[in-house]
């Protein structure tokens, strides 16, 4: 069965159109209007080994980034379906030059977020505010109904820290979405 999800979210604030294919090969066509977001979602797809097509527009940066995260999380939830056979858990330690990111995830059906990217507050990374980047992970975890533990262990360059964090999330997703059996990976029998 194909693990594909397509969702269009149109509100008075934003217009998000997103498709993912969990069994793709890491191909992407991403246009969010924000260079840094495009950069991060492109590498999320590439290193996460899922295909993504995304077009986003809207009024305010905060709204657009938040609604992309909500839509992306929802697409993961839908594409994972009943989660039969998935590895469920994923983790990764990923460096980006002097920075090191650690990510551990569980597609368990419940949101929990433990996030510390050691970023300078009230600061921008390229064309995005740090608070919008942090909020992205919160909205994504909530919408995908997953446990997300994402930490920068050390580092100095904020661009490197965020890039390492997205790559660690990508590798964790790649591992967690993988089909490894024909059973639902829960003693409750449901995820
Ligand atoms: Mn970069």
* Ligand 1 mean position, distance from CA 115 (Å): 20
Q: What's the rounded Cα separation, in Å, for the pair 151 and 149?
A: 7
Ligand 1 is an ion; residues with CB less than 5 A from it: 163
pLDDT of 1 > 90? The answer is: no
Instruction: Give the pLDDT confidence of 130-146 residue by residue, as tens digits.
Output: 999 999 999 999 999 99
Which pLDDT score, from 0 to 100, does residue 122 have? 86
pLDDT of 46 > 90? The answer is: yes
Asked if 101 and 165 touch (Cβ cutoff 8 Å), the reply is yes
Q: Tell me the residue length of the chain.
A: 191
Going from N- to C-terminal start, the domains of the chain cover 4-176
Instruction: Give the pLDDT confidence of 94-123 residue by residue, as tens digits.
Output: 999 999 999 999 999 999 999 999 999 889
CATH superfamily of 4-176: Imidazole glycerol phosphate dehydratase; domain 1 (3.30.230.40)
* Ligand 1 mean position, distance from CA 191 (Å): 35
* Ligand 1 mean position, distance from CA 81 (Å): 32
Q: What's the rounded Cα separation, in Å, for the pair 50 and 43?
A: 10
* Ligand 1 mean position, distance from CA 18 (Å): 23
- In this prediction the pTM is 0.97
């Amino acid at each position: 069965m194909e693990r594909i999800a397509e969702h269009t979210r149109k509100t008075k604030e934003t217009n998000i159109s997103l498709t993912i294919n969990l069994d793709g090969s890491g191909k992407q066509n991403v246009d969010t209007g924000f260079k840094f977001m495009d950069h991060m979602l492109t590498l999320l797809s590439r290193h996460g080994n899922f295909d993504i097509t995304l077009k986003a527009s809207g009024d305010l940066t905060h709204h657009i980034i938040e609604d992309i995260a909500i839509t992306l999380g929802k697409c993961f939830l839908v594409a994972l379906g009943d989660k039969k056979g998935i590895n469920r858990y994923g983790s990764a330690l990923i460096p980006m030059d002097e920075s090191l990111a650690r990510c551990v995830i569980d597609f368990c059906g419940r949101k929990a977020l433990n996030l510390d990217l050691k970023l300078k507050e009230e600061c921008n990374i390229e064309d995005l505010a740090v608070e919008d980047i942090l909020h992205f992970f919160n909205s994504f975890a909530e919408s995908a109904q997953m446990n997300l533990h994402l930490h920068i262990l050390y580092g100095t360059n904020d661009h490197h820290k965020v890039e390492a964090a997205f790559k660690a999330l990508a590798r964790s997703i790649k591992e967690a979405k993988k089909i490894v059996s024909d059973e639902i990976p829960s003693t409750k029998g449901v995820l």
